[in-house]
């Protein structure tokens, strides 16, 4: 194998390894956050997900996400949606449930990609590729065979 192929492999293999490690070691998830300004008669919230912006949306929060705010001051909320497919785009809707059990689903749909994201995967791959490149530079060059002149042949 010639030296230029070896140099390319010293960069390419760590890059592929870095991208693969991120894909394999990070679970595909989406963290949803929202904040309320006030919570008059709010019992809690439900979240719905779809892989199509038009729906249908399926309930993903199996238990009611209880309201923590009060009528004058709202609260901040966070929910991790897990068990997703890495790199797939998902669409979400939020429903506020009142104290009587009725609900109002907000028409706004938010979207997110599941997983750590390609930016992190490519960054890890680039980092390992750089490491491979630097290690390849530190490798001593093969010693050239030196020919020392000897006594002349007769």
* Position 70 pLDDT exceeds 90: no
CA dist., res. 144 & res. 71, Å (int): 82
Check whether residue 56 and residue 131 sit in a common domain.
no
Measuring CA to CA, which residue among 24, 31, 37 is closest to residue 60? Answer: 31
Residue 135 sits in which domain range?
1-26+117-140
CATH code for position 68: 2.60.40.10
Q: Do residue 22 and residue 37 come from a single domain?
A: no
Q: Is residue 35 within 8 Å of 73, Cβ to Cβ?
A: no
The pLDDT of residue 90 is 96
pLDDT digits (tens, 9 = 90+) for 124-139: 777 777 777 777 666 6
Check residue 123 and give its pLDDT.
72
pLDDT at residue 152 is higher than 80: no
Query: Does 123 fall in a domain?
Result: yes
pLDDT single digits (tens) 55-64? 999 999 989 9
């Amino acid at each position: 194998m010639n030296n230029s192929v070896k140099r390319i492999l010293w960069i390419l293999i760590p890059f592929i390894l870095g991208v693969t490690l991120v894909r394999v070691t990070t679970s595909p998830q989406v963290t949803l956050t929202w904040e309320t300004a006030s919570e008059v008669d709010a019992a809690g919230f439900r979240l719905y997900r779809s892989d199509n912006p038009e729906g249908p949306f399926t309930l993903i929060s199996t238990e009611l996400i209880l309201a923590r705010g009060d009528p004058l001051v709202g609260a901040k909320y966070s929910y991790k949606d897990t068990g997703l497919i890495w790199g797939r785009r998902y669409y979400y809707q939020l429903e506020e449930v009142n104290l009587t059990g009725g609900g109002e689903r907000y028409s706004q749909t938010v979207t997110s990609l599941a997983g750590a994201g390609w930016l992190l995967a490519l960054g890890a791959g680039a980092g390992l590729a750089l490491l491979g490149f630097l290690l390849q530079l530190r490798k001593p060059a093969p010693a050239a065979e030196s020919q020392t002149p000897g006594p002349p042949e007769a």
